[in-house]
Structure formats: structure tokens, C-alpha cells
Amino acid sequence: MIILDIAMRWLHLMSAIAAAGTTILALFVLVPVLRESPEDVRTRLHEVIRPRMSKLVSISIGLLLISGFYNYLAVKMPLHEGQGLYHGLMGGKILLAFVVFFIASALTGKAKAFESLRAQRAKWLTISVLLVMAIVAIGGVLRLQPETAAAMP
Ligand code: HEM
């Protein structure tokens, strides 16, 4: 089990790095480059970048959910039984993550309903970067929460 626990923590960290890195790259590199490119180049770049970005986003979301729920339900919940602050922070972290997942899916998807979001790409990417920073900070605070006495070996 300990091997699986370590592997799931590694998977969570790696997919968090991929999700955060992709969002930061999109905001500070891709959006400015596309904005400065001539219309035909911008359209072509968008055509080749979007499907790849969408695949990376879907894989990162899937792996964050699998590793996140495993880490929470199988590893951390028994260690933090009855600790309201821990579970409250974790609930907030998961909610913020779902907002980031929604924005990332809407920005890399093709659904007509989210065209208005894609028209303000820089704004929503900025919101996503700030949310990811908050999520990582909460992850760090959670790590420092002492385990309940009952869970201590
Ligand atoms: C954008 C999405 C997310 C990012 C960037 C993220 C990032 C992180 C980071 C950096 C840590 C600290 C890792 C460590 O030091 O071990 C962490 C811990 C954790 N995350 Fe996430 N996470 C995300 C989504 C989720 C989701 C959706 C869940 C649950 C379904 C989740 C559950 C957890 C758990 C259980 C921990 C361990 C907390 C502890 O050490 O007590 N995360 N996350």
C-alpha cells in the first residue's frame, strides 16, 4: 500500500505541475504571441495548438481527480478524522479545483456556449493562475496539519 500511496502522491504532484505550467504558459506566452500574430497565422496556430492543449487539460484533470480522491479518501481522511479545519480546507481546495477545471475545459473546448469566455481568454487565464496559486498554497497548509492522536503510530 505504501508504494501505491507514494505513487499517487507523485502522480498528484506531477499532474498539478502540468496543470499549473500549462495555465501559466498560456497566459504569459501563447496569448501574447497569438495577439501579436497576423490573422492567418493566429488562426493556423490556434488550429494546431487547441486540440493538443485540450488533450493535455483532459489528462491532467483526470489524473488530478484520481490521485486527489485516492489521497483524500484512502490516505488522509483516516489520519485527520474529526478535524473540521482540515476537511474544510480540503473542501475549499476541491471546489477551487473544479472552477479551474471548468475554465480550462471551456477555454480549450469548442462548445458554442463558452465562446464569450474564449473571447476574454487573458482574463479567465489570469483568474485560473490565481486560483491554482491558492490551491497549491492550501495543499501546503494541509500538509502541515497534524494527524489526529488516534492516527499516530
Ligand atoms: C488544479 C487542481 C489541483 C492542484 C494544482 C493541486 C495541487 C496540490 C499540491 C501542490 C498538493 C501538495 C502536495 C504535497 O506536498 O504532497 C496537494 C495535496 C493534496 N491534494 Fe491537490 N491539487 C489539485 C486538485 C485536487 C483535487 C481535485 C483533489 C481531491 C479530489 C486534491 C486532493 C489533494 C490531497 C488529498 C492532498 C494531500 C493533502 C495533505 O498532504 O494532507 N487535489 N494538491
Lowest mean pLDDT among 28-37, 41-50, 142-151: 142-151
Ligand 1 pocket, residue 19 CB under 6 Å: yes
pTM for the predicted model, two decimal places:
0.92
Q: How far is the CA of 107 from the centre of ligand 1 (A)?
A: 23
pLDDT > 80? residue 149:
no
Give the closest residue to 104 by CA, choosing from 10, 47, 4, 25.
25
pLDDT > 80? residue 81:
yes
Tell me what the pLDDT averaged over the chain comes to.
94
Q: Which SS3 state, helix, strand or coil, does residue 147 take? A: coil
Cβ neighbours of 15 (radius 10 Å): 20
Lowest mean pLDDT among 37-41, 56-60, 102-106, 148-152: 148-152
Please answer whether residues 19 and 63 qualify as being in contact, where contact means their C-beta atoms are separated by less than 8 angstroms.
Answer: no
